[in-house]
Amino acid sequence: MDQSEKPRPNLAVRRIVASLGIFVFLFVYIVAVSDIGRHIPSHNTLLTLLYYALAGTLWGVPILPLISWSEAYRKTRP
């Protein structure tokens, strides 16, 4: 092994780390979204619908790099 190459965690470790990271992120995200959602006026149904539709969709954006990292164990070099 060359000095410039650092040992990389194996696939199982990556998946465990990613799973824990996703779990923690989703817990915090759900708490934050529901807390912010309480401050939306209840008489404004359209705003409430848009808020929860966006919040329900956008949670995946920050998780995608973590999933990509956990599954990209061995990349072929050109």
Residue type, 26: L
User: With 0-12 CB in 10 A as exposed, 13-18 as middle and 19+ as buried, what is 51?
Assistant: middle
Comparing CA positions, the residue from 73, 62, 71, 72 lying closest to residue 22 is 62
Write down the mean pLDDT value for the chain: 86
Q: Is the model's pTM score more than 0.85?
A: no
Give the lowest-confidence range in 4-8, 22-26, 27-31, 69-73.
Answer: 4-8
